[in-house]
Amino acid sequence: MKVVSSPFLRACRREAADRTPVWLMRQAGRYMPEYRAIRARFGFLELCKDSEAAAEVTLLPVERLGVDAAIIFADILLPVEPMGVGLEFAKGEGPIIHRPVRSAGDLGRLAEVDPLEATPFVFEATRKVRAALGERVPLIGFAGAPFTLASYLIEGGPSRDYLHTKRLMHDDQATWHSLMERLQKVTVGYLNGQISAGAQAVQLFDSWVGILSPNDYREFVLPWTRGTIKGVTAGVPVIHFGTGTAGLLSLMREAGGDVIGLDWRVDLGEAWKRLGYDVAVQGNLDPAVLLAKPTEIRRHVRAILERAAGRPGHIFNLGHGVLPETPVDHVVAMVEMVHDLSRR
């Protein structure tokens, strides 16, 4: 089977396939002993920048889990690190931005970045993975959406309330839109660089956009997300994903994407009906379900597949990333369950 006819790419195009495809966000991560063994040799940023090791990590789930797509091992903050924001991945704390952007002056100090020159290791890893995959499964590239990148840059790291982000958004709209314009340009270049290197679909992660009201999303985010998606190489499927977005789904649909990713807080069947059946959907098993016994996992997998009703255009995934505590055998079993229960 040619990879262009794979169940994953067929689902992105809302074409009928012989089964529902499945891949997982964070499918190469700390829950896998093979990944932990590699991480013992590298710091996180060091691993991302070593194209050979990043390619090896990317390929692990294809071999171990039997998923229908690989996703390049990288991080959404890689294209903003060269801007000079002082990015560090602190053990147990996640990403830290030591020089946050909270004013026009801060924005003016950011270096102009061409991702093709600044992140060549991502594209090299992408080329290596594509060569290794051959025609087995497609490769997904990804990037952070402008809002989520901006929230990291402004907050200095993850946040509970995003007050710095909202304050800048409302008090200094000129600086906000200038920052978003810059991040849109970088993100488009970063995604298209991955596509040129061999990615056959891309996912735009707007991980934190669910903290916004619909009105704020419409005014401050939608134009930049739409511009990013429109800037992606024509003909390459775009998956548009966010968490906590039950109240934003229609606006996300308006912003664009061939596939809308759903987190576990919404009913897949109802959400797809709201979005319209002229768009594909991805999701949406609660990652915590994978900690349960296999009979319970199977019950939840079946329920989600039933809500999709066998309609072309469903990609099975979690509602967010695989949790570090997840047993690998449970993930393998879930992939097999999706294939078994959806076979047509």
Of all helices (H) and strands (E), which one includes residue 98? none
Distance spanning both ends of the chain, measured CA to CA: 17
* Total number of domains constituting the chain: 1
Q: Which residues are 280's β-sheet partners? A: 259
Give the residue numbers spanning the domain of 40. Answer: 3-342
What is the rounded distance in angstroms from the CA atom of residue 171 to the CA atom of residue 136? 50
Catalytic residue (one of 50, 68, 75, 263)? 75
Catalytic residue (one of 30, 99, 218, 253)? 30
pLDDT mean values, one per 10 residues, the chain (344 residues): 85 97 96 96 95 98 96 97 93 86 97 96 98 96 98 93 97 98 98 98 97 98 98 98 97 98 98 98 98 98 98 97 97 98 94
240 phi and psi, to 5 degrees? -110, 110
Report the CATH number at residue 28: 3.20.20.210
At 186, the amino acid letter reads V
Q: Is 106 a catalytic residue?
A: no
> In this structure, what DSSP letter does residue 125 have?
H
One DSSP character per residue, 194-239 reads HHHHT-SEEEEEETTGGGS-HHHHHHHTHHHHHHHHHHS-TTS-EE
Q: Which residues have C-beta within 8 Å of that of residue 324, sequence separation ≥ 6?
A: 29, 30, 31
Q: Is 14 a catalytic residue?
A: no
Amino acid 92: pLDDT: 66
Three-class DSSP category at 100: coil
Catalytic residue (one of 31, 35, 152, 217)? 152
Cβ atoms of residues 258 and 237 within 8 Å: yes
Catalytic residue (one of 13, 19, 26, 253)? 26
Report the sign of the C-alpha dihedral through residues 288, 294, 295, 300, in that order: positive
Amino acid 180: pLDDT: 98
Q: Is 216 a catalytic residue?
A: no
Look up tokens 């006819």; give the residue. Answer: 5
Amino acid 205: pLDDT: 98
Amino acid 1: pLDDT: 55
What is the rounded distance in angstroms from the CA atom of residue 201 to the CA atom of residue 284? 19
Cβ atoms of residues 210 and 221 within 8 Å: no
Q: Is 30 a catalytic residue?
A: yes
Amino acid 90: pLDDT: 78
In 3D space, the residue among 165, 145, 126 whose CA is nearest the CA of residue 206 turns out to be 145
Q: Is 50 a catalytic residue?
A: no
Amino acid 344: pLDDT: 87
Q: What length is written for the chain?
A: 344
CA distances, 202 to each of 36, 141, 229, 301, 336 (Å): 26, 4, 10, 25, 24
Catalytic residue (one of 13, 14, 19, 39)? 39
Amino acid 340: pLDDT: 98
Would the pTM count as exceeding 0.85?
yes
